[in-house]
Amino acid sequence: MERPILSMEGISKEFPGVKALEDVDFELYPGEIHALMGENGAGKSTLMKILSGVYAPTQGIIRLKGQEVVFRNPLDAQHQGVSIIHQEFNLFPNLSAAENIYIDRLEVVGRFGRIQWSRLYSEAQKLVDSIGGRGIDVRKEVRHLGVHSQQVIEIAKALSFQADVLIMDEPSAALPENEVQKMFDVVKRLKEQGVAIVYVSHRMKEIFEIADKVTVLRDGKKIATHKIEEVTEQSLIQMMVGKEVAQLYPVRIVEPREEIVLQVKQLSLDSAHAISFNLKKGEILGLFGIPGSGSHTVAERLFGLVKGTGAIEINGVQVQINTPNEAKAKKIAYVPPDRHRQGIIKPMSIRQNLAMPILPELSTGLILDQERIKKMSSSYMEQLHIKAPNDLQSVDFLSGGNQQKVVIGKWLAAEPEILILEEPTRGVDVGAKAEIYNIIHQLALKGLSILLISSEMPEVIGLSDRILVLHKGEIVHEFGRGEADQEQLLKRASNPRTRGGDVI
Amino acid sequence: MKRLLNVHEAPIILFTVLIGILFTIISPEFLQLDNAKLILEQNTSSAIVAIGMTMVILLGGIDLSVGSVLALTATSVGLFLSHGMSPWLASLLGVGIGILCGMFNGYFIAVLNIPDIIVTLASMYIFRGLAVGISGGTWMTNFPPGFQFFGQGQVLGISFPLIVTVILIIGFIFLLKFTRFGRRIYAIGGNKAAAKLAGVSIPRTKFMVYVFSGMLVGIAAVIFASKVGSVQASTAGSNLSFEVMAAVLIGGGSIFGGTGTIAGTAVGILLMGIIKNGLVIAKVSPFWVDATTGFLIILAIAINTLQYVRQNKRKGGELI
């Protein structure tokens, strides 16, 4: 039997307060495509970051071709033969494709440190051609290349280091449908050349089409490694999901709801896709999709962050929403997915953050009414159980959960009718999660209509009255409350046209 | 030919030619050989400073201190000369002072990671203050005849400073295009994270850029002092930073870094020189020269931006 090119043995990784990986073994053979699967937070990316030299493991060793190795940084890992292609490409938009491949490398530097441009171009073109990138002009600046071509350049860059192991993180997420097949061709060619490929993806269909083996992680532990013939979609999902969800969620009794608050008709997500749905008064509507499904775009469209076509009706009246200000005026609020970058203003106090969206309403003439701001702020501090000595504390010093409550609070202060929540509990500990879920539940009871967009299946299932499943810009299924479990949800979201899947 | 039309700088070259034609129509003296020579010779100092500024802006940086560095260097050279030092040695020491100033900026910006706009804003005052301090507030003047060569001398009938400028421009074009150092500058300006992953040392590259920039300002200061024949520490090079930055941007440089060339900057300097000279020849009231110059700068940059937008219709979030 052949020897593995790479083996990771007993890998553990601890971050302060969290055990991200526990005693994980992982083996990789030359010329195999090995899928790595698991839910968000299962430890996939931590494992790959260790393999590519971003993190050092707390425990465990890595052997490459039988030799124990230590990767000091990503560049070091590359030089030793392990390259990673991130979901977000790491390219220089202002430089030619060829230079992107060979940037800062001695291979193309001649005498007296002179860069040999003609050799650089011809080597790069040869490399790109060899992986099926014929037709890509390597002299072109990367910003003028399409997404697939950019990915080919990333792959070429990785291979230019004589990579034995290539890690691909969600490689199809950035690609339009018609180019995924082209990417597969490239990957299969690499496999024939003996490169070992780790293929990280959520998409079942792709895994069964391209992978030879699959390893499943859950909660930082390795569950199993199987040959692809030995597993079914069903069994994979079972492995990924594990046991039932604990009782984190408030008990919701769904009464029949009639009054439609938001009606979306043919709302365009990109040039090819548009969706229609409605949201009723007091309803929590879940929207679930894997990366690349377009669920984030739905929020951006409704809040006027990106423009497009389609009709939006609020309480039966057609409205135009082209800017966040217009969305605000129509009583829509949006809690964005990235708290740190989009949600809070760190150096400012809780009070100032809460007042932010409604400064005009809190003013008398041109002057801010400090008394009213103070009153408003302390009322939300209390209502949302924001834990801080007082509301003059800067939000920088709050825990993730309390920061998230501030973000929710500032939009509640705007008294919306429709609240869009995107990843409302990302990076929040379990205790705060339960609190936030309860807040969401209470808000809906008071008549607020909530659109919950999340990549965490348990929370979508636990909170939503209805769940819309989004797949590549289309709503492929609708679940009522209690109809969905994680298996079915993941199945619909990753490959809607499977056995018995009646597509709507 | 096709390559010529594809040149990045094409629109701005065209614009420069157009402005030239405009001035010729207004006043035929503009096109005289003597006047052309004058324009070239008048702008050698700023052209040399602009080489360094191009590299700084390519990194996505900014340098407000070049005018003060020029003043400090020129004043020092004046002092050295007044103590009877030989012109060559004085000039060489002057360039050395420029390099020291560059190291000062580079240390705070690259090593201590303080934003360049803060560091150079501070060093703008520091260097200017030092210059005024060591000069005692008086004019540096009465340079020895041997010193005149650097700013006014001729070799084979061609102005010496012009030769120096052309050599430096060609040298740095080569440096940026054909060495790893040069390409690192573009890489950092284009995508800092990717540059780091590719093993590029960002602090080292940044530091070297500021050192080169300081050296170039030093050379420019020697030429400036020699050409003008006197230096007043409090005013020398007072608008230089902004003029030179404008030239880089006119020449196609992006304030966000990553895009721009020294050739483009040279055209930018030339355009600014032509505008100033042309307005004088066209007898535009000197009171209106600044406003007109500013307006033409906006126009030139608008042309570049339009070209950029046209080429880059996709949502270039990462570029900005």
Residue A497's pLDDT band, with cuts at 50, 70 and 90, is: low
Instruction: Identify whether the C-beta of residue B185 lies closer than 8 Å to the C-beta of residue B58.
Output: yes
pLDDT of residue B157: 83
For residues A21 and A76, state if they share a domain. Answer: yes
For residues A445 and A465, state if they share a domain. Answer: yes
Domain membership of residue A417 (yes or no) is yes
Q: Which residue among B178, B190, B314 places its CB closest to the CB of A92?
A: B190
Q: Within 10 A of B6 (CB to CB), how many other CB atoms are there?
A: 8
Instruction: Identify whether the C-beta of residue A168 lies closer than 8 Å to the C-beta of residue A210.
Output: no
The number of domains in chain A is 3
pLDDT of residue A245: 43
For residue A305, pLDDT beyond 70: yes
Which residue, of A217, A243, A269, is where some domain finishes?
A: A243
Range of the domain at A349: 261-494
For residue A246, pLDDT beyond 50: no
Digit-coded pLDDT (tens) for B112-129: 999 999 999 999 999 999
- Work out the average pLDDT over A226-231: 90
* Higher per-residue confidence, A1 vs B228: B228
Q: A262 pairs with which residues across the strands?
A: A279, A314
Put simply, the answer to whether B200 touches A104 (Cβ < 8 Å) is yes
pLDDT of residue A501: 40
Put simply, the answer to whether A94 touches B312 (Cβ < 8 Å) is no
CB of B17 less than 8 A from some CB of A: no
Domain membership of residue A131 (yes or no) is yes
Residues of B in contact with A114 (CB under 8 A): 178-179
* Higher per-residue confidence, A16 vs A440: A440
Domain membership of residue A271 (yes or no) is yes
Residue type, A365: G
Query: Whose structure tokens read 């300097």?
Result: B269
CB of B180 less than 8 A from some CB of A: yes
Considering only alpha carbons, which residue of chain B is nearest residue A113? Answer: B179
Most B CBs within 10 Å, among A54, A75, A104, to test the B interface: A104
Residues of A in contact with B194 (CB under 8 A): 90-92
Digit-coded pLDDT (tens) for A120-133: 899 889 888 887 77
- Work out the average pLDDT over A29-34: 92
**Ranges under pLDDT 50 in chain B:** 1-2, 313-320
Residue A499's pLDDT band, with cuts at 50, 70 and 90, is: very low
For residues A369 and A339, state if they share a domain. Answer: yes
pLDDT of residue B320: 28
The dihedral over CA atoms of A332, A337, A343, A347, expressed in degrees to the nearest 10, equals 180
For residue A498, pLDDT beyond 60: no
User: Hey, what are B28's tokens?
Assistant: 């035929």
Q: Which residue among B191, B200, B258 places its CB closest to the CB of A90?
A: B191
CB of B319 less than 8 A from some CB of A: yes
Instruction: Identify whether the C-beta of residue B311 lies closer than 8 Å to the C-beta of residue A144.
Output: yes
Q: Is A250 exposed, middle or buried (0-12, 13-18, 19+ CB in 10 A)?
A: middle
Domain membership of residue A333 (yes or no) is yes
pLDDT of residue A227: 92
For residues A389 and A481, state if they share a domain. Answer: yes
pLDDT of residue B165: 94
pLDDT of residue B68: 95
Which residue, of A140, A161, A182, is where some domain finishes?
A: A161
Chain A, chain B: beta-carbon pairs less than 8 Å apart: 64
Q: Within 10 A of B14 (CB to CB), how many other CB atoms are there?
A: 11
Query: How many percent of chain A have pLDDT more than 90?
Result: 25
Mean pLDDT lowest among A417-426, A479-488, B110-119 = A479-488
Q: Which residue among B180, B199, B314 places its CB closest to the CB of A115?
A: B180
For residues A115 and A195, state if they share a domain. Answer: no
Which residue, of A161, A180, A196, is where some domain finishes?
A: A161
In SS3 terms, A41-106 reads as: CCCHHHHHHHHCCCCCCCEEEEEECCEEECCCCHHHHHHCCEEEECCCCCCCCCCEHHHHHHCCCH
CATH number at residue A407: 3.40.50.300
pLDDT of residue B317: 34
Domain membership of residue A453 (yes or no) is yes
Domain membership of residue A251 (yes or no) is no
Q: Which residue among B191, B199, B311 places its CB closest to the CB of A92?
A: B191
Say what the ipTM of the complex is: 0.79
Domains of chain B: 31-308 (1.10.3470)
For residues A219 and A282, state if they share a domain. Answer: no
Put simply, the answer to whether A94 touches B190 (Cβ < 8 Å) is yes
Q: If we measure between CA atoms, which residue out of A435, A469, A418 comes closest to residue A293?
A: A469
Considering only alpha carbons, which residue of chain B is nearest residue A74? Answer: B197
Shortest alpha-carbon distance between residue A269 and chain B (Å): 15
Q: Which residue among B179, B197, B314 places its CB closest to the CB of A90?
A: B197
For residues A349 and A307, state if they share a domain. Answer: yes
pLDDT of residue A500: 42
Domain membership of residue A361 (yes or no) is yes
Domain membership of residue A149 (yes or no) is yes
For residue A439, pLDDT beyond 80: yes
Most A CBs within 10 Å, among B8, B179, B184, B191, to test the A interface: B191
For residues A179 and A205, state if they share a domain. Answer: yes
For residues A192 and A266, state if they share a domain. Answer: no
Mean pLDDT lowest among A45-49, A365-369, B297-301 = B297-301
Residues of B in contact with A115 (CB under 8 A): 177-180, 183
pLDDT of residue B128: 93
For residues A51 and A124, state if they share a domain. Answer: no
Put simply, the answer to whether A91 touches B194 (Cβ < 8 Å) is yes
- Work out the average pLDDT over A398-406: 86
Mean pLDDT lowest among A238-247, A307-316, B215-224, B285-294 = A238-247
For residues A13 and A76, state if they share a domain. Answer: yes
Tell which B residues from 195 to 214 touch A, by Cβ distance under 8 Å. 195, 197-200
For residues A296 and A435, state if they share a domain. Answer: yes
* Higher per-residue confidence, A361 vs B91: B91
